Amino acid sequence: MSTVVLEEPIVAIIPRWRVMAGKLLRNRAAVVGGSVVLALLLLAAFAPWIAPYDPFKINPVQRLKPPSFQHWFGTDEVGRDLLSRIIFGTRYFLLICLITASISATIGTLLGLIAGAGSALTDSIIMRIIDILLAFPYILLVLVVVAILGPSLWTGMAAVGIAGIPGYARLVRSSVLTVKREDYVTSARALGASDAEILFGTVLPNVMSPLIVYLAFATPLSALIASALSFAGLGTQPPAPEWGAMLVNSRTYLFSAWWAVAAPGMALFISIFGMNILGNGLRDVLDPRS
Amino acid sequence: MAAGIRSPHTLLDIKGLRTQFGSGRNPVNAVQGIDLQIGAGEILGLVGESGSGKSVLALSILRLIQSPGRIIGGSILFDGKDVLAMSNRELSGWRGRDIGIIFQQPQSCLNPVRRIGWQVAEPLRQQEKLSRKAAWDKAVTLLRSVGIPAPEEKALAYPHQLSGGQAQRVMIAVALALRPRLLIADEPTTALDVTIQAQILELLRDSCRDFGTSLMLVTHDLGVVARLADRVAVMYAGRIVEEGPVAPMLTAPSHPYARGLLDAAPRLGQMGGLRLRDIPGSIPDLSQPMPGCAFAPRCELRANLGLSACLGELPPFIPISEHHAARCWALPQADGIYSTPMTMGTRA
């Protein structure tokens, strides 16, 4: 084989993820959001060691005490320490995020891939089903699923997860429609890649960026809906320290013991806000046009 | 090898291939009845202007035409196997292993989210069942053989970190990884600058010689053809209008369109203030039926000779020498040659 003299510049090779991580760390909003998410993860992982009290321990003497050095966030109507309940609540919050996102993202992505890459008939069938799901108001769809399955933490998560499927399916389908016309897909096919190899090896990695961004936006919203379900008594049931469920119990004391509402409310607000601005940062970093 | 115009073994045998785009009343006939053979180890140059159907023909051979396009007739035999009858599974095994293709825009043909080493190694893993490590090592060797500097490091790079020339080298490595017996290069150097073009062409020719791979070089650049090809076919409006060995084709083409192409190409030493001759008009609407020669409306020779047959009836291939023939009614009159019409298929 003849060797050919090259006069082309050698480009420095920096791994893609490090470039991305660097960009992410320079984005202030993403750093703040990332810190919130990291804090949630740590609190959830080490809850028993961090929480000053047992989140289920009833103490009638200390009921509805305002924030103090003993109880930083105050106590609720049966004297449970609110800080401890918030800390244990991170476990519910993250569990809800994980399960709902897994259900919606996995099924939605799969349906989107099949619809986008499949025949016109497959595409129509899947997308008409998605259209039917979208025709219901989101919350009504969730309520219908809960009504069928019965109220509990797990059915609540399943309901929210199922209601999230159409968003993922439509996003992935539209991305696949763009990507499958790209030259590198034809190129992969010309190298003998089968349909499945092209779908999962070539197309899927190229629709990951919008998928990750959507995941970061849709997940906290799902968590909010799941909390709303608990608030309506259709999700997590008391006495579990789930933030939405905590809000229900304390709403009757809003004017006499504001802290009992403020604690879970603020916890929800900060967590969801943090995840959202992390999503914003991710979008900036992963958007190839930036 | 260069001397042999047609080696005894025909690798690819296309007969009457027709590819159509769109449906409804006026589908576009991008390829309308092509007969073409490529011998083992041969380099065939396929020349024509934009829109003449070269790329569609290339994609049709690999059965990569996507809806709304479809192959509506003819046959493609690859080493005796009927390509048009292959199942998807057979196609997967055949593509890459027996036939490869590289495209005009190398950077858009590489998967933007995968390392280039992965892209060279993956077909080896899938088709040759190599282990991850073995495939990666072979990929690095291949990258070195196509002239990528520091291939161990470059294998870790992503496509956007490569220059156009390097990307095309990687594409050649990918396409030749499985040592296919035929490589189709669809305008492989059009997107590259001139100094890199020469290197890439040399690499293509040498790689194909080393691997014993036949090459079908699709291009509109006669210089590229002169440099590489053993044989040339000129395509116009979905048909081959002239076919023959490279020397007569590039010095004394017979078909008025092939002559026009040659006159339109800039040549060194002839440029002293002379304007290049262009071919007036443009490619006809391929969705309209054309009973006669598609070039007739633009043909000066026809106008000069006042031929009427050109518009009404498609000329057959008229042999000029043993392996050289052109589809033109004016040939007998213009050059004083007349032979019984014959088709490319029977000539083989």
Question: How would you classify residue B74: left for phi > 0, otherwise alpha for psi between -120 and 50, otherwise beta?
Answer: left
Taking residues B265-283, report their average pLDDT: 71
CB contact under 8 A, A190 and B62: yes
CB contact under 8 A, B108 and A186: no
Find out whether B216 and B60 touch, Cβ atoms under 8 Å.
Answer: no
d(CA A229, CA A219) in angstroms, rounded, equals 15
User: Touching check for A3 and chain B: CB below 8 Å?
Assistant: yes
Taking residues B195-203, report their average pLDDT: 88
CB contact under 8 A, A193 and B126: yes
> Rg of chain A over CA atoms, in angstroms?
24
Residue owning tokens 């033109």: B328
Angle between helices A204-231 and A138-149 (to 10 degrees): 70
> Six-digit token pair at B60?
């049709």
Strand partners, A10: none
Q: What is the pLDDT of residues B294-343, one digit of tens each?
A: 888 888 888 888 777 888 888 888 888 888 889 888 876 555 443 333 33
**Minimum CA–CA partner of A120 in chain B:** B67
Residue owning tokens 């009927």: B82
ipTM metric? 0.81
Please give, rounded to a whole number of angstroms, the shortest distance from the CA of B120 to a CA of chain A.
10
User: Touching check for A123 and chain B: CB below 8 Å?
Assistant: no
Average pLDDT, chain A: 87
> Six-digit token pair at A231?
């608030």
Interface test with A, best of B109, B140, B168, B184 (most A CBs within 10 A): B109
Q: What is the pLDDT of residues A109-144, one digit of tens each?
A: 999 999 998 888 999 999 999 999 888 888 888 888
What band does B346 get if pLDDT is binned at 50, 70 and 90? Answer: very low
According to the model, what pLDDT value does residue B342 have?
Answer: 35
Please give, rounded to a whole number of angstroms, the shortest distance from the CA of A281 to a CA of chain B.
20
**All domains in chain A, ordered by first residue:** 48-286 (1.10.3720.10)
Q: What is the pLDDT of residues B90-132, one digit of tens each?
A: 998 899 889 999 988 888 899 888 889 999 998 888 888 889 9
**Minimum CA–CA partner of A180 in chain B:** B66
Cβ-based neighbour number of residue B31 at 10 Å: 30
Residue owning tokens 């933490």: A153
Q: What is the pLDDT of residues A136-172, one digit of tens each?
A: 888 888 888 888 888 888 898 999 999 999 999 999 9
> Six-digit token pair at A221?
């919203």
Interface test with B, best of A19, A184, A204 (most B CBs within 10 A): A184
Residue A4: list chain B partners with CB under 8 A.
Answer: 147, 199, 202-203
Find out whether B225 and B265 touch, Cβ atoms under 8 Å.
Answer: no
According to the model, what pLDDT value does residue B196 have?
Answer: 85
d(CA B33, CA B18) in angstroms, rounded, equals 5
Helix (H/G/I), strand (E/B), else coil: A222: helix
d(CA B19, CA A123) in angstroms, rounded, equals 26
Strands laid side by side in the B10-21 sheet: B28-39, B10-21, B69-78, B81-82
Helix (H/G/I), strand (E/B), else coil: B9: coil
Q: Is the peptide bond before B68 cis (omega within 30 degrees of 0)?
A: yes
- Position A99 pLDDT exceeds 90: yes
What band does B75 get if pLDDT is binned at 50, 70 and 90? Answer: very high
**Nearest in space to B216 (alpha carbons), one of B339, B34, B86:** B34
Q: What is the pLDDT of residues B152-173, one digit of tens each?
A: 988 988 888 888 889 999 999 9
Please give, rounded to a whole number of angstroms, the shortest distance from the CA of B91 to a CA of chain A.
7
Find out whether B105 and B191 touch, Cβ atoms under 8 Å.
Answer: yes
d(CA B345, CA B36) in angstroms, rounded, equals 8
- Position B276 pLDDT exceeds 80: no
Across the A:B interface, residue pairs with CB atoms under 8 Å apart total 106
d(CA A212, CA A201) in angstroms, rounded, equals 17
CB contact under 8 A, B111 and A7: no
Of A86-100, B2-16, B122-136, B293-307, give the lowest mean pLDDT range: B2-16
Chain A, 179 to 208: residues with Cβ < 8 Å from chain B are 182-184, 186-195, 197, 201-202, 205-206, 208
**Minimum CA–CA partner of A202 in chain B:** B111
List of residues 6+ apart from B272 with CB closer than 8 A: none
Angle between helices B116-128 and B132-145 (to 10 degrees): 120
Compute CA B223 distance to the chain's CA centroid, rounded to the nearest angstrom: 14
**Nearest in space to B47 (alpha carbons), one of B208, B228, B194, B200:** B228
Which among B111, B127, B196 has the least Cβ separation from residue A202? B111
Interface test with B, best of A3, A187, A200, A204 (most B CBs within 10 A): A187
According to the model, what pLDDT value does residue A290 have?
Answer: 47
User: Touching check for A287 and chain B: CB below 8 Å?
Assistant: no
d(CA B16, CA B28) in angstroms, rounded, equals 17
b/e string for B127-138 if b means 16 or more Cβ within 10 A? beebeeeebbbb
Residue owning tokens 């800080």: A83
CB contact under 8 A, A183 and B203: no
According to the model, what pLDDT value does residue B269 have?
Answer: 63
Query: DSSP string covering B133-167, please?
Result: HHHHHHHHHHHHHTT-SSHHHHTT--GGGS-HHHH
**Minimum CA–CA partner of B104 in chain A:** A183
Residue owning tokens 């083409």: B253
